DNA sequence: ACCGGCGTTTAAACCGGTTTGAATGATTGC
DNA sequence: GCAATCATTCAAACCGGTTTAAACGCCGGT
């Protein structure tokens, strides 16, 4: 196994200095076209590619961005958001040859994870997802001098650029859809309240009820999990007057809720209407097909990556608002039962 | 914003040379304990952490491993395997402060992605997942001199160390379970045949039928997707004599299949038994709860990471076999209907 | 013949660590 | 008392790039 070629080898073969090779590589002006050709063909012949660590050292840029997934391990696999979001990031950064460093951590170690990411300088910037109401990370990245964009935290006073995709229109639309179908008792099985997006969905549900002139609905925590959704559904169905419709924080808890309701002998949607959130691939294949809200996490990842890259390169970037989530009506919602 | 401290700053503050600081950092023997203390407290005071790029440059080790996800974008979010697998990797590499570089690519660009990963030397080794029957990657990583472990390709002549988790016992168990329940016509809705693991599951199904003295069952492609599972199920149900049980390649297609069957008026499990694979979080909350096969992708990730780290550090590592997948019996399987 | 200016190229310093071989001072052996 | 040994420390080279300031060759103008 022969040592892999360095810039010096290329320079020698092309009969120029290392500086010239570097200039050509970064297509800087002021190199004769003939020289450029010689350098390029020498590089090609040797199969030379610059070492990223050497480059990182001299430029001070790691050419990588970081994503921290701070979820309970058992939740990690259940969320369709992250894979799609990462795919969106990738489309942007791979264009410039940048990399994505992934760190997973338990929520309680999150801060240390960011600290290490910053200390090592393995990344030039990070995404802040799953922002919580009282989140320590904005202050942390500011302290560390680490460029960061907040993903989905528009109303924040974080001082960070943020990329937003509004969940609320879809949820409001869902509630209106149910109201139009005659529902008057519409419950919500929410995600963990510390998450900004869970809270926003809850707020949208609550606002929409008020807009429709309805009293406050029943609210139960579902934790974005199947188990939580199932438990909340059981509790709702045990009430003296169960709701006729339930809006869930995500598809996972909605699907589990549907199963619980059917298990209790209810027919969907005749006896109970159900709405989810996410539009997971399975949603059109549940029985009945799940009415749900669809966002576009790929475009979200793409926009977030663009914002972060710009922030890293220029020092500033504008907030961005993506197309809001929309309602997808399928078979799990229907006219309210007559009591 | 003050420049972040370097090893030189620490050395000056501690009153020693940079070499000494480096020795202390890497706890090499031959430094007086008193000096060690001084260096450590100086580092602490300045909040110094070594720059990973500088380190990478001089040691020639990137201290990161790479994972390439070459899936169709629409499939990326549907597989519970990857997040869990990555979580397992993370538990191992984070101990030593290593990082995980994630690259997503379309299957057709996969080779280029590995090439770039190797050329940049951003990673010290890679995981090869989703191995296909005639896979170009083992030869590629050998050519590139890139350490790699094959994830789940035991029978291969790849020459690569591999970490395996046998799917087959669970599938065989599933078929036996169905046979015990009186089923004689057990179909299989398989994953893409180019994947080694999809093929293995199919083979196990087929072998188990033979072992039970049954004729060959009906085989249909389900592509590991909801849509594919639904379509295959429709086709199976349209047959003159539909199977009384279906073993699916994964939970996603199984769940979609259940919905299709119920939609066609079948009661589960009275009219049709269904078995999935993966044991996704939703599996115990479908209606009826899904009988399925459970592997442990977290431990798989952990073992793969250990193997890769050892391979990187020592140049060799032993193949490893993990505990095979097992059958989890729930409500979607029951006695065969009497015809 | 000399000078200024331009386009092109380069030597050398630098990024922040690691590593080697030698220097230093203290201890031991004879 | 002096050389040999040992533990400790350090100066300097090195990793493979980028960048700056200076040098070079060549041209036209006077």
Q: Please give the Cα distance from B231 to B167 (Å, whole number).
A: 24
Whether residue B172 sits in one domain with residue B136: no
Instruction: Tell me, yes or no, whether A57 lies in a domain.
Output: no
**Is the pLDDT score of A17 beyond 90?**
yes
Instruction: Tell me, yes or no, whether B113 lies in a domain.
Output: yes
Instruction: Tell me, yes or no, whether B197 lies in a domain.
Output: yes
User: Among residues B262, B253, B225, B286, which one has the least CA distance to residue A254?
Assistant: B286
Residue written as tokens 């926009």? A303
* Omega before A288 within 30 of 0, i.e. cis: yes
Q: Please give the Cα distance from B105 to B111 (Å, whole number).
A: 9
Whether residue B155 sits in one domain with residue B75: yes
Q: Please give the Cα distance from A249 to B168 (Å, whole number).
A: 37
**CA–C1' gap, A36 and C3, in angstroms:** 31
Whether residue A112 sits in one domain with residue A15: no
Q: Please give the Cα distance from B174 to B176 (Å, whole number).
A: 5
Beta strand residue intervals within chain B, DSSP E: 64-70, 99-105, 125-128, 148-151, 162-165, 186-190, 219-221, 245-248, 273-275, 292-294, 320-322, 326-328
What's the whole-number average pLDDT of chain A?
93
**Is the pLDDT score of B154 beyond 80?**
no
Residues packed against strand D, CB within 7 Å: A 3-8, 18-19, 21-23, 25-26, 48, 50-51, 54-55, 57-59; B 15-20, 23, 30-32, 34-35, 57-58, 60
- Flag whether residue A64 sits within 8 Å of chain B, measured between CB atoms: yes
Instruction: Say what percent of chain B tops pLDDT 70.
Output: 98
Residue written as tokens 């009506």? A329
CB atoms within 10 A of CB A74: 13
Whether residue A127 sits in one domain with residue A68: yes
Q: What is the DSSP string of A101-166?
A: EEEEE-GGGHHHHHHHHHHHT--SEEEE-S-BTT-SHHHHHHHHT--EEEES-TT--S-S-EEEE-
Cα A28 to chain centroid distance, Å, stands at 37
Cβ of B122 within 8 Å of Cβ of A52? The answer is yes
pLDDT at A118: 86
Cβ atoms of A285 and B259 closer than 8 Å: yes
User: Among residues B247, B294, B224, which one has the least CA distance to residue B77?
Assistant: B224
CA-atom Rg of chain B in angstroms = 26
How far away is chain A from the Cα of B175, in angstroms, using its nearest Cα?
A: 25
Q: Please give the Cα distance from A78 to A254 (Å, whole number).
A: 13
**Ramachandran area for residue B18 (φ above 0: left; ψ -120 to 50: alpha; else beta):** alpha
**CA–C1' gap, B45 and D9, in angstroms:** 22
Whether residue A180 sits in one domain with residue A282: yes
> How large is the average pLDDT for residues B191-200?
91
pLDDT at A106: 85
> How large is the average pLDDT for residues B192-209?
94
Cβ atoms of A255 and A276 closer than 8 Å: yes
Cβ atoms of A127 and A149 closer than 8 Å: yes
User: Among residues A186, A235, A188, A194, which one has the least CA distance to residue A214?
Assistant: A186
> Rounded to 5, what percent of chain A is helix, strand, coil?
45, 15, 40
Nearest nucleotide to B8 by CA–C1' distance?
A: C16
**CA–C1' gap, B27 and D14, in angstroms:** 21
pLDDT at B167: 93
Whether residue A286 sits in one domain with residue A189: yes
pLDDT at A1: 53
**Please, which residues have CB within 8 angstroms of residue B307's CB and are 6 or more apart in sequence?**
B149, B161, B163, B317, B318, B320
User: Among residues A94, A165, A167, which one has the least CA distance to residue B117?
Assistant: A94
pLDDT at B339: 66
Which DSSP state fits B273?
Answer: E
Least confident range of A31-35, A69-73, B273-277: A69-73
Residue written as tokens 């639904």? B230
What's the whole-number average pLDDT of chain B?
93
**Stretch 155-194 of chain A: residues touching chain B, C-beta under 8 Å:** none
Q: Please give the Cα distance from A310 to A87 (Å, whole number).
A: 19
Name the token pair of B40: 């450590």
pLDDT digits (tens, 9 = 90+) for B219-230: 999 999 999 999
**Is the pLDDT score of A252 beyond 70?**
yes
pLDDT category of residue A120 using cuts at 50, 70 and 90:
confident
Instruction: Tell me, yes or no, whether B52 lies in a domain.
Output: no
Burial class, B40, CB count within 10 angstroms (exposed 0-12 / middle 13-18 / buried 19+): middle
**Is the pLDDT score of A325 beyond 60?**
yes
- Flag whether residue A73 sits within 8 Å of chain B, measured between CB atoms: yes
Whether residue B118 sits in one domain with residue B220: no
Whether residue B290 sits in one domain with residue B277: yes
> How large is the average pLDDT for residues B263-284?
96
User: Among residues B269, B152, B143, B235, which one has the least CA distance to residue B199?
Assistant: B152
Instruction: Tell me, yes or no, whether A72 lies in a domain.
Output: yes
Please tell me which residue lies nearest to nucleotide C10, judged from CA to C1': A17
Which DSSP state fits A94?
Answer: G
Cβ atoms of A117 and A67 closer than 8 Å: no
Whether residue B172 sits in one domain with residue B161: no
Q: Please give the Cα distance from B265 to B232 (Å, whole number).
A: 17
How far away is chain B from the Cα of A98, in angstroms, using its nearest Cα?
A: 10
Cβ atoms of B216 and B188 closer than 8 Å: no
pLDDT at B62: 95
**Is the pLDDT score of A173 beyond 80?**
yes
Instruction: Tell me, yes or no, whether B141 lies in a domain.
Output: yes
**Is the pLDDT score of B329 beyond 60?**
yes
Whether residue B174 sits in one domain with residue B138: no
Cβ atoms of A166 and A325 closer than 8 Å: yes
Instruction: Tell me, yes or no, whether B13 lies in a domain.
Output: yes
> How large is the average pLDDT for residues B311-318?
93
Q: Please give the Cα distance from B221 to B231 (Å, whole number).
A: 9
> How large is the average pLDDT for residues B267-278?
97
Torsion sign (Cα): B286, B287, B289, B292: negative
Bridge partners of residue B165, in order along the sequence: B322
Name the token pair of B133: 């029957």
Encode burial over B117-156: b for 16+ CB neighbours within 10 A, e otherwise. bbbbbbbbbbbbbbbbeebebbebbeebebbbbbbbbeeb
Does residue A175 sit in helix, strand or coil? helix
Q: Please state whether beta strands A99-105 and A125-128 pair in parallel, antiparallel, or not at all (unpaired).
A: unpaired
pLDDT at B75: 74
pLDDT digits (tens, 9 = 90+) for A256-281: 999 999 999 999 999 999 999 999 99
Could you tell me the CATH number of the domain that includes residue A34?
Answer: 1.10.260.40
Nearest nucleotide to B17 by CA–C1' distance?
A: D10
- Flag whether residue A296 sits within 8 Å of chain B, measured between CB atoms: no
Could you tell me the CATH number of the domain that includes residue A109?
Answer: 3.40.50.2300
Q: How many domains does chain B have?
A: 3
Whether residue A156 sits in one domain with residue A81: yes
Domain limits for position B211: 168-295
**Is the pLDDT score of A49 beyond 70?**
yes
Round to the nearest angstrom and report the end-to-end CA distance of chain B.
80
User: Distances in Å between the alpha carbon of A286 and those of A52, A239, A256, B54?
Assistant: 47, 26, 11, 53
How far away is chain A from the Cα of B11, in angstroms, using its nearest Cα?
A: 18
A-to-B residue pairs, Cβ atoms closer than 8 angstroms:
180
pLDDT digits (tens, 9 = 90+) for A64-110: 999 998 887 777 777 888 889 999 999 999 999 899 999 988 888 88
Cβ atoms of B276 and B254 closer than 8 Å: yes
pLDDT digits (tens, 9 = 90+) for B91-147: 999 999 899 999 988 888 888 889 888 888 899 999 999 888 788 899 999 988 899
Encode burial over A246-272: b for 16+ CB neighbours within 10 A, e otherwise. bbbbbbbbbbbbbbbbbbeebebbebb
Instruction: Tell me, yes or no, whether A331 lies in a domain.
Output: no
Name the token pair of A243: 């709701």
Cβ atoms of A35 and A16 closer than 8 Å: yes
User: Among residues A174, A239, A181, A236, which one has the least CA distance to residue A207?
Assistant: A174
Alpha helices by DSSP H, listed for B94-195, are: 110-120, 137-144, 168-180
pLDDT at A156: 66
Whether residue A157 sits in one domain with residue A84: yes
Chain C positions with an atom below 7 A of a protein C-beta are: 7-12, 14-21
pLDDT category of residue B153 using cuts at 50, 70 and 90:
confident
Name the token pair of B132: 């296909």
């Amino acid at each position: 196994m022969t040592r892999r070629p360095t810039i010096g080898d290329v320079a020698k073969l092309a009969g120029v200095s290392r500086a010239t090779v570097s200039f050509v590589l970064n297509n800087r002006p002021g190199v004769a076209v003939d020289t450029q050709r010689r350098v390029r063909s020498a590089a090609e012949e040797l199969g030379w590619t610059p070492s990223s660590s050497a480059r990182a050292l001299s430029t001070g840029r790691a050419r990588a961005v970081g994503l921290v997934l701070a979820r309970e391990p058992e939740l990690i696999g259940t969320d369709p958001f992250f894979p799609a979001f990462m795919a969106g990031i990738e489309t942007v950064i791979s264009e410039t040859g940048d990399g994505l460093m992934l760190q997973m951590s338990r929520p309680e170690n999150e801060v240390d994870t960011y600290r290490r990411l910053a200390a090592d300088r393995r990344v030039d910037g990070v995404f802040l997802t799953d922002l919580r109401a009282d989140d320590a990370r904005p202050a942390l990245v500011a302290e560390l001098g680490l460029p960061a964009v907040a993903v989905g935290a528009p109303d924040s006073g974080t001082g960070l650029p943020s990329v937003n995709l509004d969940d609320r229109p879809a949820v409001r639309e869902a509630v209106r859809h149910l109201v139009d179908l005659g529902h008057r008792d519409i419950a919500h099985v929410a995600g963990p309240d510390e998450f900004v997006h869970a809270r926003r969905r809850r707020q949208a549900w609550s606002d929409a009820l008020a807009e429709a002139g309805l009293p406050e609905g029943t609210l139960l925590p579902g934790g974005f999990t199947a188990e939580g959704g199932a438990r909340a559904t059981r509790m709702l169905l045990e009430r003296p007057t169960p709701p006729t419709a339930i809006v869930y924080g995500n598809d996972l808890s909605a699907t589990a809720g549907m199963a619980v309701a059917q298990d209790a002998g209810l027919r969907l949607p005749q006896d109970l209407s159900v709405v989810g959130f996410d539009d997971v691939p399975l949603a059109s294949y549940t029985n009945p097909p799940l009415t749900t809200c669809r966002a576009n996490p790929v475009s979200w990842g793409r926009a977030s990556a663009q914002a972060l890259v710009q922030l890293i390169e220029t020092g500033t970037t504008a907030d961005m608002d993506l197309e809001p989530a929309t309602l997808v009506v399928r078979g799990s919602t229907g006219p309210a039962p007559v009591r």
